[in-house]
Structure 1
Amino acid sequence: MRILLAPDSFKEAASAEAIAQAMARGIMRGDPQAECRLLPLSDGGEGLTHALVHATGGTLHDVETVDAVGHPIIAQFGFLGNKHTSRTAAVELASASGLEQVSPADRDPMAASTFGTGLLIRAAIDAGADRIVLGLGGSATTDGGTGLAHAFGFRFLDAHDSDIPLGGGALVDLARIDDSRVSDSIKNVPIVLACDVTNPLTGPEGAAHVFAPQKGATATQVELLDQGLANLARAIMQYNGRDIEHTPGAGAAGGTGGGMLGLFNATVKPGIELVLNLAHGREACAWADVVITGEGSIDSQTPYGKVPSGIAKLAQSQGKPTIAIGGTVTRDPHTVEALNETGIIATFGIAPGPADLTTLIANTERNVEITCAAIASTLRITAATSPCESA
């Protein structure tokens, strides 16, 4: 039996690559005769760079940059392999400007900026990239991508033509945008934004109201951040006539989607579709008899733009079934029905029994291995006992 192992990361527990390897160990325990192919994936958030580099035989590159609150860190970008016609670099915002990069005590939703991600993209371009795939997800920021743009020379000025500070909190004072220090070559580099959300920039469903509380913002700060993003939208409209405020995906990564669409040569694509295309997911599904995928939580969001549903739909289009595993798995009938419609025929939780969250996270890879061993044994027995056609 040929089994494609195509998981996302299990957030705060293990990377997609580590999960795929644990799956493979389990499959070999349950069915030593099985053939496995590993295809760790991402929907545009954490793990995008490693997923694309792994799938294409590319290379990873370390860069000295800063996190969302300005502390020095080492982050990575990757060059895609497989003889891509363009020199494509993969960058994930979470690598430099992610929430998990900043300790809870240091998180500052008003001052956090994407400046470090800008430095990372600059390093990729300086190394020869002529196309960027930027994963939007997992950010600690609500600055509309202004920190990122600042790293390329954009200036964000107040009514007195003074530079405003980095961070979303300062955008309430933004009066105009100056690009006199930005080269045309930078503005013209194609940037594809891998995004799994469709939120607009502002309003009740916008970046501040939906995502900033997860980054530590109070109710008062949420309102100020939303006002700042609306101010940024007006400034961009004045700068080049682009209307980004209500564009689907503009609210991704604290409004970075909107800032990129407004200031750069950027386009938005669903993250999982982009990754599956670049990682040759269709060919991998064609090879497999069955697909096993997974993510940290199989829940009501899973059927909509997440890795398990994305790979399942692709496998379903070729008549291949998909099984999903997760740290937690919902049994809500409506969600189960939605999962079935994507092509996921069964879901399995990896928790062996009652335990505290710290223990479950620490044992994630072991529990994935045990679960996949059981799945492989079941698949092997089912295949062996399937009734033969009568003569």
Structure 2
Amino acid sequence: MRILLAPDSFKEAASAEAIAQAMARGIKRGDPQAECRLLPLSDGGEGFTHALVHATGGTLHDVETVDAVGRPIIAQFGFLGNKHTSRTAVVELASASGLEQVSPADRDPMAASTFGTGLLIRAAIDAGADRIVLGLGGSATTDGGTGLAHAFGFRFLDAHDSDIPLGGGALVDLARIDDSRVSDSIKNVPIVLACDVTNPLTGPEGAAHVFAPQKGATATQVELLDQGLANLARAIMQYNGRDIEHTPGAGAAGGTGGGMLGLFNATVKPGIELVLNLAHGREACAWADVVITGEGSIDSQTPYGKVPSGIAKLAQSQGKPTIAIGGTITRDPHTVEALNETGIIATFGIAPGPADLTTLIANTERNVEITCAAIASTLRITAATSPCESA
């Protein structure tokens, strides 16, 4: 049996590569004769750069930059391989400006900035990139991408023509945008935003209200951040006439999607579709008899643009079934039905029993291995006992 192992990362527990390796160990335990192909994936968040570099035989590059609260860190960008005609660099916002880079005690939703991601993209361009693929996901920020833009020379000024501080909290004082220090060549570099959400920039479904509480924002701070993003939208409209406030995807990564669409030569594409295309997902599904995927939580969001549903739809189009595993699994009937419609025929939780979260996270790879061993054994037995057609 040929099994394609195509997971996302299990957030705050293990990378997509580590999960795929654990899956493979489990499959071999359950069915030593099984053939495995590993295809670690990402929908734009953590692991996005590694997934595309791994899939295309590209290269990784270390860069000195800063995290969302301004502390020095080393982050990475990658160049795609496979003889791409353009010199395409891959950057994930989570690498420099991600929530996982900042402990809960150090998170600052009002001052957190994407400046470090801007430095990372600048390094890629300085290294020869003529096209950027930017994964939006896992951010610790709600600054509308203004920190990123600041790294390229954009200035964000108050009513007195003074620079406002970095961070989403300062956007309530934004009066105008100045680009006199930004070269046209930078503004014209094509940037593809890999995004798995369709949220607008502002409002009840916008970046601040939906995502900022996950980054530590209080109810009062959420309202101020939302006001700031609305102010940014007005300033961009005044700057170049682009209306970003209600554009689907503008709310991604704390509004970075909107800022990029408003200030750069950027376009949005669904993250998982972009990854599957570059990683030759169709060919991988054609090879396989069955696909096993997974992510940290199989829940109501999974059927809509997440890795498990993306690979399942592709496999389903070729008549191949998909099994999904997760740290937690929903049994909500509506979600289960939506998962089935994407091509996921069964879901399995990896938790062996009641345990505290810290213990479960520490044992993620082991639990993935055990779960996949059981799945492989079941598939092997099912294949061996399938009734033959009667004469």
* TM-score of the superposed pair, with normalisation by structure 1: 0.99
1:341 aligns with 2:347: no
Note the C-alpha offset of 1:293.
0.2
SS of residue paired to 1:8? coil
Structure 2's unaligned 5+ residue stretches are none
Deviation sequence 1:347-370 (CA, Å, 0-9, x none) = 111111111111111111011001
User: Could you say what secondary structure the match of 1:237 adopts?
Assistant: helix
Aligned-pair distance for 1:390? 3.2
2 CA distance for matches of 1:186 and 1:4? 40
C-alpha distance in structure 1 between counterparts of 2:213 and 2:327, whole Å: 24
Structure 1 residue 224 displacement after superposition: 1.0
Hey, what's the Cα distance between the residues in 1 that align with 2:240 and 2:306?
A: 34
The farther-off stretch of 214-223 and 17-26 is: 214-223
Q: 3-state DSSP class of the match of 1:128?
A: coil
1:170-319 correspondence runs (5 A):
170-319=170-319
Give the whole-Å Cα distance in 2 for the aligned partners of 1:159 and 1:253.
27
Q: CA offsets per residue over residues 219-278 of structure 1, 9 Å max, x none?
A: 111111111111110110011100000000001111000000000000011111111111
Note the residue ranges of structure 1 that are not aligned, 5 or more in a row: none
2:232 counterpart SS class? helix
Q: Which residue of 1 aligns with 2:143?
A: 143
Give the deviation of 1:207 after TM superposition: 0.7
1:69 match? 69
The separation in 2 between residues aligned to 1:348 and 1:210, in whole angstroms, is 28
- Mapped partners of 1:191, 1:38: distance in 2: 28
Instruction: For 1:163 and 1:352, locate their aligned partners in 2 and report how far apart those are by CA, in whole Å.
Output: 53
Deviation per CA, 1:48-67, whole angstroms, max 9, x where unpaired?
00110111111111100000
1:217 Cα deviation from its structure 2 partner: 1.1
Q: Partners of 1:353 and 1:231 in 2: how far apart? A: 48
Q: Cα deviations across residues 287-326 of structure 1 (Å, max 9, x unaligned)?
A: 1010000001111111111100000000000000000001
Provide the C-alpha distance between the structure 2 equivalents of 1:336 and 1:294, rounded to a whole number of angstroms: 15
Partners of 1:237 and 1:113 lie apart in 2 by 22
Q: Secondary structure at the match of 1:347?
A: strand
For residue 18 of structure 1, give the secondary structure of its aligned residue in structure 2: helix
Shift of 1:19: 0.2
Q: Distance in 1 between matches of 2:178 and 2:353?
A: 58
String of CA shifts for 1:16-52, please: whole Å, max 9, x gaps.
Answer: 0000000000011111111100000001111100110
1:107, distance to aligned residue in structure 2 (A): 1.1
Q: Partners in 2 of 1:103 and 1:295 — Cα distance?
A: 22
Identity of aligned residues (%): 99
Deviation per residue, 1:53-102 (Å, 9 max, x gap) = 11111111110000011000000111111111111111110110011111
Equivalent position SS for 2:137: coil
Where in structure 2 are the equivalents of 1:359-378 lying within 5 Å?
A: 359-378=359-378
2-side partners of 1:255 and 1:93: how far apart? 12
Equivalents in 1 of 2:218, 2:85: separation in Å?
Answer: 47
Matches within 5 A, 1:31-70: 31-70=31-70
Alpha-carbon deviations, 1:174-226, whole Å to 9, x = none?
11111111111111111111111111001111111111111111111111111
Equivalent-residue separation in structure 2 for 1:162 and 1:291 (angstroms): 55
Q: CA deviation at 1:110?
A: 0.8
Q: Name the CA distance, whole Å, in 2 between partners of 1:358 and 1:228.
A: 36
2:181 & 2:348 partners in 1: Cα distance?
54
**What CA RMSD, in Å, does the superposition of the two structures yield over aligned residues?**
0.8
Q: How far did 1:389 drift?
A: 2.5
Secondary structure in 1 aligned to 2:381?
Answer: helix
Shift of 1:111: 0.7
Can you list the C-alpha shifts for 1:320-354, whole angstroms capped at 9, x where unaligned?
00000011111111111111000000111111111
Q: SS state of the match for residue 123, structure 1?
A: helix
How far has the Cα of 1:4 moved from its partner? 0.2
Describe the SS at the equivalent of 1:165.
Answer: coil
Shift of 1:104: 1.7
Q: Which residue of 1 aligns with 2:385?
A: 385
Is the partner of 1:359 in helix, strand or coil?
Answer: helix
Matches of 2:140 and 2:353 in 1, distance apart? Answer: 33
CA distance in 2, matches of 1:221, 1:53: 38
Instruction: Quote the Cα distance in structure 1 between the aligned partners of 2:31 and 2:220.
Output: 56
After superposing the two structures, state which structure 1 stretch, 209-218 or 18-27, moved more: 209-218
Give 1:120's aligned residue: 120
Corresponding residue SS for 1:235: helix
Partners of 2:357 and 2:224 in 1: CA distance: 34
- The CA distance in 2 between the partners of 1:352 and 1:234, in whole Å, is 51
Please give the per-residue CA displacement for 1:107-126, whole angstroms capped at 9, x wherever unaligned.
11111100000000000111
Q: Counterparts of 1:219 and 1:323 in 2: how far apart (Å)?
A: 39
Q: For structure 1, which segment, 253-262 or 84-93, has the greater mean C-alpha deviation from structure 2 after superposition?
A: 84-93
CA distance in 2, matches of 1:352, 1:208: 36
Q: Deviations over 1:119-158 (max 9, x none)?
A: 0000011111111111111111110000000000001111
1:68-107 superposed matches below 5 A: 68-107=68-107
What's the CA shift for 1:384? 1.2
1:291 is paired with a residue whose SS is strand
In the alignment, the residues of structure 1 paired with residue 277 and residue 15 of structure 2 have an alpha-carbon distance, to the nearest angstrom, of 20
Q: TM-score, normalised by structure 2?
A: 0.99
Paired residue secondary structure (1:331): coil
Tell me how far apart the structure 2 counterparts of residues 120 and 338 of structure 1 sit (CA, whole Å): 38
Give the SS at the match of 1:111: coil
